[in-house]
Amino acid sequence: MPFIPHTAADVARMLGRIGVDSIEDLFDEIPQSLRIDRLAGVPDGLNEADVTRLMRARAALDGTPLNFAGAGAYEHHIPAAVWEIVTRGEFYSAYTPYQAEASQGTLQLIYEYQTMMTRLTGMAVSNASMYDGATALAEAVLMAERTRKGNSRRRILIPRSVHPAYRRVVRAIVEMQNIEIVEVDFDHLTGATSTSACAAAADGGEFTALVVPQPNFFGVLEDVDALTDWVHANAALVIGVVNPVALALLKEPGRWGSKGADIVCGEGQPLGVPLSSGGPYFGFMCTRMELVRHMPGRIVGRTTDLDGRDGFALTLQAREQHIRRAKATSNICTNQGLLVTAATLYMSIVGAEGLRRVAAACASNARALRDRLGRIAGMSPRLSAPFFHEFAMTHPRPASHVIEQLAQHGIVAGFALGDDYPELGDALLVCATETKSAEDFEKFSQALSGP
């Protein structure tokens, strides 16, 4: 229902019950020297029309650049209906659905989200989401360690082709728990990670799990079948980090190798969440049924009430610190409910066939763009392996300079790889989704061809 402010009589009655004369008396502990009458730079109140005009002017300052950057955050078309529904009061203001009798709509939506994610990943069970892709990977690492208590060496193999920010977050979260992170190098010509490189990193010792990105940070498609079978032959677990849109075309992790991945996580932002200044995003996590008790977060299940009607409730909250406190499975305290709502609506509206078309258009556009950029003098692909919608290109000028120069022309040129991957030279990571056209490619190419 709409918010209804208290009347003056309401306020007077509340103050009388508390035993003070005014609202100011509630703040008498704050010294006068710390109080200010007004904030500098904050204007007086405006009417609705003026506020609307001001906000439009502020929004216009951001501009609408032509975006060819990806690197973990991707620009996709979002049907208008998605956020029209998400911002309805019953979704927009709903909180964690602890009281099932009052939260059936929210619970059913999360249940449908879980179902969609399990079908997309080919796994048995999904939780109700995580904070973001990076923390989801960190939680997957902790989950893998919980499943293997007999392992004498707490080691996780992570390819360097995993998103650099993800690797930093994982280290920050797990290293204080005496879990060793061993990085696996990638082939500097193809961009892919081989089983021989994994074996060299393992160095004959035990390890708990290998993280397998698909596609990896460079957009390269890994040989997931070979990697998965190698890991299982070494009695370890496979943690897949995947792009959910790419899974509409690629083999789902549940069918990787002969046994499938064990834990699958990633960033859900491509599913109906617009680009913003650092988020918010949401992470997803799926697993095999045998490991479900080790999964962090909450799971919504379907049941029947005493009258035989379908009902939904939180059926697994293994990590809840308000129940288990120090013994909690995880410190993840909530799910990203609003963004999960957007993702569920996006997948419902687009549908399975629509998602396949989006993924196919991404892959097709990326190849067309790489071919077009390859015709520019001095530009060439940096890595040779197959890719999805992202690829690395060399340029005669430093990538950071190219990015700065094109930004002045309203073009986001990509991501400079040199700082994180000096062995790749000053390469530019470029992305093309279904939102780009041949005219966009030509404009980008002309800008890159300039001095």
Note down pLDDT in tens along the chain; length 451 residues.
Answer: 355 678 889 999 999 999 999 988 999 899 988 888 778 888 788 888 998 999 999 888 888 899 999 999 999 999 999 999 999 888 877 666 777 777 888 899 999 999 999 999 999 999 999 999 999 999 999 999 989 876 566 899 999 999 999 999 999 999 888 899 999 999 999 999 999 999 999 998 899 999 999 999 999 999 999 999 999 999 999 999 999 999 999 999 999 999 999 999 999 999 999 998 778 899 999 999 999 988 988 889 999 988 899 999 888 765 455 566 556 667 666 668 899 999 999 999 999 999 999 999 999 999 999 999 999 999 999 999 999 999 999 999 999 999 999 999 999 999 999 999 999 998 999 999 999 999 999 999 999 997 7
Residues 223, 168 contacting (CB under 8 angstroms): no
Place of tokens 């208008």: 80
CATH 3.90.1150.10 boundaries in the chain = 66-78+355-449
CATH 3.40.640.10 boundaries in the chain = 80-345
Domain 80-345 has CATH 3.40.640.10: yes
Cα–Cα distance for residue pair 319/143, rounded to 1 Å: 11
CA nearest neighbour of 161 among 185, 135, 190: 185
pTM: 0.87
Q: Which two tokens stand for residue 43?
A: 């204007």
Cα–Cα distance for residue pair 73/205, rounded to 1 Å: 36
Residues 273, 342 contacting (CB under 8 angstroms): yes
The strand order across the sheet containing 180-184 reads 125-126, 283-287, 263-267, 237-242, 209-214, 155-159, 180-184
For residue 1, the model assigns a pLDDT of: 39
Q: Work out the burial of residue 94: count CB atoms within 10 Å of its CB; fewer than 13 is exposed, 13-18 middle, 19 or more buried.
A: middle
CATH of 66-78+355-449, one of 3.40.920.10, 3.40.50.12160, 3.90.1150.10, 1.20.1270.10: 3.90.1150.10
Cα 8 → chain centroid? 46
